Amino acid sequence: MRISIIAALDERGGIGKDNRLPWHLSADLERFKTLTMGHHLIVGRKTCQSIGRPLPGRKGIVITRDPRFEAPGYTVAHSLEQALSLARQRGENEAFIAGGAAIYALALPLADRMYLTRVHTIAQADTFFPPFDPAAWKLLQNQRHPADEKNEFDFTVQVWERGAKLRRKA
């Protein structure tokens, strides 16, 4: 099972503000939907609450330490490892780690692939993607999209794949 991170970050690595995305980029939301459709989507409890609903066609897993937490349409897990093994048991071929910062930090050492949207702005972010060493990754795709009426800022979509020898066994 491939472990993939999917995230949108600004030029300083900012990903969120007040438990929301700091921008509106229709084309990026569409790309997120296309990539994740039919797959397991693993999120932290705060991101789950920020999304506020199950995402149609995605198999949501929410990670929390709270033994009583429930979210309609999501399966609850209490660690990233538990979430990944649940997805694996269900026959998933690519599990998507969709944030937020706490869950990206847990997933970064395990991830095989990262779908990153680099938003060409500096947002007033309060939450950040963990630093990563680009030398440990190969850039497979790098495509710039201009801002327009539906996309607030220019952004570049990237696909990064980790070198096989550098991946820690999940």
Ligand X SMILES: NC(=O)c1ccc[n+]([C@@H]2O[C@H](COP(=O)([O-])OP(=O)(O)OC[C@H]3O[C@@H](n4cnc5c(N)ncnc54)[C@H](OP(=O)(O)O)[C@@H]3O)[C@@H](O)[C@H]2O)c1
Binding site for ligand X (CB under 6 A): 7-8, 15-16, 19-21, 43-47, 50, 63-66, 69, 78-79, 98-103, 106, 127
- Is the CB of 30 or the CB of 163 nearer to ligand X? 30
d(CA 147, CA 59): 31
Q: How far is the CB of 56 from ligand X (least distance, A)?
A: 18
- Is the CB of 65 or the CB of 169 nearer to ligand X? 65
Q: How far is the CB of 163 from ligand X (least distance, A)?
A: 24
Phi, psi of 35 (to 5 degrees): -70, -40
Q: How far is the CB of 9 from ligand X (least distance, A)?
A: 6
- Is the CB of 60 or the CB of 99 nearer to ligand X? 99
d(CA 152, CA 133): 28
d(CA 76, CA 96): 16
d(CA 80, CA 64): 9
